[in-house]
Structure 1
Amino acid sequence: MAGEGSVKVFGVQGSPFSCRVEIALKLKGVDFEYFEENLANKSPLLLKYNPVYKKVPTFVHNGNPLAESLVILEYIDETWTNFPLLPNNPYQRARARFLSKFIDDKCFPSVGKALWARDDKEAKENLKFLENELNGKKFFGGDTVGLVDIAGTCIAFWLPAIEEAVGAKLLTAKEFPKLCKWSHDYVNHPVVKEKLPPRDLLIAYFRG
C-alpha cells in the first residue's frame, strides 16, 4: 500500500498548524513518530528535513520531507485514502482548498488584529463568510470532519483561548450561532479532542 512506511512529524504542542497534521493522521489511523521541537533551539533533524523554512510542522514519510500544513494535509489524504478529507466532486474539492487558504491568509490574521489591536471589522466580515459557508451543515465537510474543519482548528480552539487570555470576545453565539456550534462539535469530536493541547497552557502562553 502507498501509505505504508515510516512517518515522522516535527511539531510544537502550542501550534495549531502542527495540530492539524496530528489530527489528520489520527483520523486516518496512521501511526507516526512525533518530535517536539524547541523553536529557539531547533533540532538538527528539523533543519535537515526543512532547510528552507526551518519551521513546524515538518512531515516526513519514508524519508521524504514536506512542509506547510495544508500541503501536508493534502498529501496525507492522497496517500491514505480511508476517511477522505476532501470531497470527490471537483468543484467542492476546489472550494475546500479555497476555504482552507482563506482561513490561513485572511481569517486567522484578521482575528489576531481584532483581539490585540481592537479593530474587529475585517475579522467579523471574515467570520461571517465562514458562518454562511456552514449553511446548516454540522461540519464544513458535511457530516464528517474534512479538510476545512481541520484548517479551522485555529478558529475553533485557538481563538477562544486567545479571547480568554486577552479579555475580549469576538466569536459570540449571538452573532455567529452556526460557527459557535461547529466549534463546539469540532473540538469535542473524540479524535480531535485527543490531539488538542491543554487549554490552560495555551491561555497562559497568550497571557505571557
Structure 2
Amino acid sequence: MAGERGGEEVTLLGHWGSPYVIRVRLALYLNGVPYTYVEEDLRNKSDLLLRSNPVHQTVPVLIHSGRPVCESQVILQYIDEVFVAGSGSASSDFSLLPTDPHERAVARFWAAYVDDEIGAPWDKAFRSGTEEERAEWMGKVAAAVPGLELGLRECTDGGRNGCFFGGAGGVGYVDVVLGGVAPYVHAMEKVSGLRLFDADKTPMLAAWLERFGELEVARAVLPDVDRVVGYVRMIHEKNAAKGAE
C-alpha cells in the first residue's frame, strides 16, 4: 500500500519480521491509510532512520508530512487520533480504541500487558545464545499467557460479547498489538513444539488466533509463517554461534 493521505505523505520505516512493525501495518490497513513502506536493513541502518529516531534508532517509525512518530504503541494511538477510517475499515466510524474512557483504559492496560509480560521476555528469548536461556525466557512468556486469557474473557464478557479484545466492536487496539506476534505464535510451535495458545489451557486465545488469522487484514499484512520459521531459526543459529565464540 503506497501513496498519500489528503495530500499528506505517510511513510513507514520497518523490517518485515518485526512484530512491532507488523502491528503498525495492521493499524494502517484497518484505517485505510495509504503509505510508502521502506524496508530497513537493521545491520546497516539508513540515515533516514537514524535521523528520524535518534534516541533508540529502531523501527517502526511513522513519518507523517515529514514529522516522525516513534514506538509502536505511540504510533497506533497517533494513527487512531489523526486518520479518519477509510475504505480499508470495517465501518466509517472505525476506531482502534473505544470511546468510553474506562474501556479505553482497560484496552491500554492489556496492551501494556502484552508488551511487558509477553513481548519483553520473548525478546530476551529471541536474543539468547543457548537453548537453556531461551527455554527459561519462553517459560516466562508461557506463564503470562493465562493472564492474557483472563483479559480476553474480561473484554468479551466470557465470549458472549464477541471473540476479539475489541468486544462487540470487533477488532480493536489490543487485537492489533497482539496481532503482531500471531505469526510467531505459529512459528514457535513449528520450531520448538511450544504451543503458547493451547486450546485446552487457553481456549479463548486459541480461538482468537484462528479467527484473527482469517481476517482480511491478517491475510493482507501478516508475513508467511514458514518465512518467519526460517527467520527464527537463523537468529537462533546466529546467537548460538556468538555464544560459542
TM-score (norm 2): 0.78
Unaligned runs of 5+ residues in structure 1 are: none
Counterpart of 1:170 in structure 2 is: 196
The Cα of 1:111 is off from its aligned counterpart by 4.9
Shift of 1:139: 0.4
What CA distance in whole angstroms lies between the structure 1 residues aligned with 2:233 and 2:55?
31
Q: Deviations over 1:59-118 (max 9, x none)?
A: 000111011000000000001233200001101101111111110011233456599225
- 1:152 partner SS: helix
Question: Is the contact made by 2:97 and 2:173 (CA closer than 8 Å) also made in structure 1?
Answer: yes
Shift in alpha-carbon separation, 1:49–1:120, aligned structure 2, 3 A: closer
Q: Which sections of structure 2, spanning at least 5 residues, go unmatched?
A: 86-93, 126-131, 154-158, 235-245
User: Whole-Å Cα distance in 1 between the matches of residues 138 and 17 of structure 2?
Assistant: 24
Backbone CA RMSD of aligned residues? 2.0
User: What amino acid maps onto 1:138 in structure 2?
Assistant: C
Aligned residue identity for 2:230: A
The 5 Å alignment of 1:70-85 reads 70-82=73-85, 83-85=94-96
For the 8 Å contact 1:108–1:154, the answer to whether it is kept is: no
- Partner SS for 1:66: strand
Compute the displacement of 1:169 (Å): 2.8
Q: Does 1:6 align with 2:32?
A: no
The answer to whether the 8 Å contact 2:188/2:195 transfers is no
Superposition deviation, residue 125 in structure 1: 3.9
Residue identity over aligned pairs, in percent, reads 38
Counterpart of 1:41? 44
Superposed CA deviations along residues 164-195 of structure 1, whole A, max 9, x for unmatched, are 11233332111111001001111221112210
Runs of 4+ in 1 over 3 A off after TM superposition: 109-115, 118-125
Q: CA deviation at 1:199?
A: 1.1
Q: 1:120 to 1:195 in 2, by over 3 A?
A: closer
The answer for the alignment partner of 2:19 in structure 1 is 16
Change (3 A) 1:172 1:115: farther
Contact 1:166 1:207 in 2 (8 A): no
2:183 maps to a residue whose letter is F
Shift of 1:123: 3.2
Looking at CA atoms only, which structure, 1 or 2, has the larger radius of gyration?
A: 2
1:99 is aligned, of 104, 110, 115, to 110
Paired with 2:122 and 2:53, the residues of 1 have a C-alpha distance of 28
The 10-residue stretch of structure 1 (17-26 or 101-110) with the greater mean CA deviation from structure 2? 101-110
